[in-house]
Amino acid sequence: MRASIGRYWYAYAMVLPVVVVIAVLVLYPLVQGVYFTFTDINESTIANPVLDREASYEFVGLRNYLNVLSGDASFGAFWATLLRTVIWTGTCVVLTYGTGLGLALLLNRPMRLRGLYRVLLILPWAVPAFISAFAWKYMFNSQYGIINQLLGSLGLPQPVWLGQSDLALVAVIIVNVWLGVPFMMVALLGGLQSIPADLYEAAEVDGATPWQRFREVTLPGLRSVSSTVVLLGVIWTFNMFPVIYLVAGQNPNTRILVTYAFERFFSGASRDYAVASTYGVLILSVLLVFASFYRRALRRQGELV
């Protein structure tokens, strides 16, 4: 270790500021959040220098975890919210991956104005998410939105998209897929272009149909890219707070784990920091478990070493 530090001291010196920043901005809040889960801290028991009030919260052990995991509605109905989160995440990732793969396959073929199409399809990714969210919120407006106006012109019903119904979840899924498709398309397009053309030529010589070439050449060639983008998509979507909050607000029909943690931390007469922190730790735990099993499955398939 001493020899390594003496030889590569400049590398450690350049990395040290990043380590310090991560420790201050990530590790310390994480440790503090985990500690809060074992207390009854809330707005009335936290220290407040402005009011000259000292902290009065107490250690309660695993009570917060037991209350949350019991599924009690007063603690956010954890299991029902987790199920909605899984539905939201799975639907968004499947639609985003499928749409991105389809567009990548189209753009991988020779065509006129292919560069223009690529730029246009990347625009949703280039526009800030909050601008896209507000634009879609206006388009989903039941009275003035262009979507309902188009449905009305076709003689179809004009629903209240962002009301207290499951249509609100459908609306935010549409917005999230719109925002996520460009990244998926670009990543998969890069994967497609890395597949040797000789494989397609050999398959065609062997008499393989387009579907067989897609199944036997394209999909196996995209496994490494697909495994990465799917994992990233699950993590990002599972924690996707801005789209849901900006489009639907505090709507119980679009409530997922991360939005409920936000509501518990920043809303209500008595902000319950302990329960909000408990949700945060449970979200992290769910994602760590999923990532572990996902990587293990990939390793069995030979995608990871």
Mean pLDDT, 10 residues at a time, over the chain (305 residues)?
74 86 88 91 82 82 90 79 94 94 87 77 82 91 89 89 89 93 91 87 85 88 89 92 90 91 81 90 92 84 57
Q: To 5 degrees, how large is the angle CA 241–CA 85–CA 32? A: 60
Q: Is residue 16 part of a domain?
A: no
Q: Cβ-count burial of 99 within 10 angstroms (0-12 exposed, 13-18 middle, 19+ buried)?
A: middle
Q: Is residue 54 part of a domain?
A: no
> If you count them, how many residues does the chain have?
305
* Amino acid 305: pLDDT: 45
* Amino acid 303: pLDDT: 56
Do 176 and 237 contact (CB within 8 A), yes or no? yes
The pTM of this model reads 0.86
Q: Is residue 160 part of a domain?
A: yes
Three-state secondary structure call for residue 276: helix
Q: Which domain holds residue 237?
A: 79-269
Q: Is residue 34 part of a domain?
A: no
CATH of the domain at 226: 1.10.3720.10
* Amino acid 137: pLDDT: 92
Scanning the chain, the segments in alpha helix (DSSP H) are: 2-7, 9-22, 28-36, 63-69, 78-107, 114-126, 129-139, 146-153, 167-193, 197-205, 210-213, 219-221, 223-238, 242-248, 257-266, 273-300
Distances (CA, A) of 196 to 203, 218, 263: 12, 10, 50
C-alpha gyration radius of the chain? 24
Q: Is residue 196 part of a domain?
A: yes
Q: How many domains does the chain have?
A: 1
In one-letter notation, the amino acid at residue 55 is A
Nearest-CA neighbor of 36 among 293, 272, 296, 210? 272
Q: Is residue 46 part of a domain?
A: no
Q: Is residue 252 part of a domain?
A: yes
Q: Is residue 162 part of a domain?
A: yes
Nearest-CA neighbor of 271 among 26, 28, 27, 48? 48
* Amino acid 165: pLDDT: 86
* Amino acid 250: pLDDT: 86
